Amino acid sequence: MKNKANNTNKKRHQLNQLIKEEQEHVMGDIEDLFSEEDTNRIRSSLLEWYDKNQRDLPWRRRTTKSGNGKNVKKEEEEDDEKRAYGVWVSEVMLQQTRVQTVIDYYKRWMQKWPTLQHLAQASLEEVNEMWAGLGYYRRARFLLEGAKMIVARGSEFPNTVSTLRKVPGIGDYTAGAIASIAFKEVVPVVDGNVVRVLARLKAISANPKDKTTVKNFWKLAAQLVDPSRPGDFNQSLMELGATLCTPLNPSCSSCPVSSQCCALYNSKNDESVVVTRYPTKVVKAKQRQDFSTVCVVEISGSQGTLHQSQPDSRFLLVKRPDEGLLAGLWEFPSVTLDEEADLAMRRKLIDQLLKKSFKLNPPKNCSIISRVLVGEFVHVFSHIRRKIYVELLVLHLKGGMHDLYKEKDSGTMDWKLLDSDAVSRMGLTSSVQKVYSMVQNFKQNGLSNSSIPSRKRVKCS
């Protein structure tokens, strides 16, 4: 048994050694991956292509200078800072989000907060409302915190990678983008598009998510950066990955650096090799499944009906905690579940929440005009697949709405009451917008006769 165990350990060691040697072989000496000749060709070819083919995106536009001498220099310095701010906003928005989606958000953002100083005066709620629909809301919070920090220190906009990295939410990629594009610092950027281009140029099959591999891609990108036009070169590399060197259908015939592409060369000389083999596909972690029951609570000032909101009715919205998923955002009262529950259990949990947080306790201080299950849908976060049940609960407060406000100071949640127009105008996350849309459609379309609940006042189950 001992010999068998030793043999097993020996084989495992040999396998690990082979894997290590393969990884070292794949990456090789990173400084020698590109020859000086190839480096110069890639730089000139990419920049020439970029000058002719770059997309017209709002964050790439610069203002035109007028005059001369010191005034022009001052304008250029101010424009550099304004452009740095614009690059920062755009790069943060572009993380995990398509360019076409970002364009309108970027324009609205810059119209409302055209400078760092304007943004620093905003509230988190204002920023979240402007961000609504983009997802990954922590990005918006970091933008606001970073702006406030820079302005509070009374300093100029950080203009190097090392100083930019000290700003909350600015990592290596964003720091490199701002420093190279706005301030011409000769530094690389590495995002998914850049990794794909570099992996294909040198046919690198190592795991692109591996920490050592990531570091090597940064070294490789640093080797290529054009010292005279670092920002334009970095953008050309990203542009190539976004438009031609795409994940599934690369346009190799139109690629300006196809003659330097090892992946393309290999595919032409070996039928078993395809360009899209690079970079190696990484299996994504399985999303966690959970469940949520959402209760859209409508407080009616009168004895209202199920299908039509009364002019004096209000919807109850609550603010999420300042930490965690969707931090600081507004939503309808909800309870998250680790496992699926039936309607009776979901209603019981909602009733407990409403009683504890808002002192809503029918029939003691309110009566139920109607309570119906509207529907369900699945919302996917980056790491969570959430099944959401939507319920509409219309209440009439016996003492009027002021009774609810009397309990507000002692409550455990930050909340507010809004009419339907205010809810429609409010910046809400896509899942909350979906919930509200389902309720509105339900109220407008009505129910079939077989599913209309009794108008009799009932207790919360």
Rounded to the nearest 5 degrees, what angle is found at the Cα of 280, between the Cα atoms of 175 and 256?
65
Let me know: does 377 contact 438? Beta carbons within 8 Å.
yes
- Per-residue DSSP letters for 91-144? HHHHTTS-HHHHHHHHHHHHHH--SHHHHHTS-HHHHHHHHTTS--THHHHHHH
Tokens of 424: 């429609």
**In sequence order, which residues have a C-beta less than 8 Å from that of residue 328 and are 6 or more positions away?**
124, 125, 128, 137, 141, 319, 320, 321, 322
- Per-residue DSSP letters for 415-449? EEEE-HHHHHHS---HHHHHHHHHHHHHHHH---G
Q: Which amino acid is at 86?
A: G
Let me know: does 184 contact 231? Beta carbons within 8 Å.
yes
Handedness of CA 77, 81, 86, 88 (dihedral sign): positive
Let me know: does 427 contact 131? Beta carbons within 8 Å.
yes
CA 422/CA 401 separation, integer angstroms: 17
CA 242/CA 376 separation, integer angstroms: 36
| Catalytic one of 24, 36, 77, 91 | 91
Per 3-state DSSP, the chain is made up of helix, strand and coil in percentages (nearest 5) of: 50, 15, 35
Annotation says 37 is catalytic: no
Q: Which residues are catalytic?
A: 91
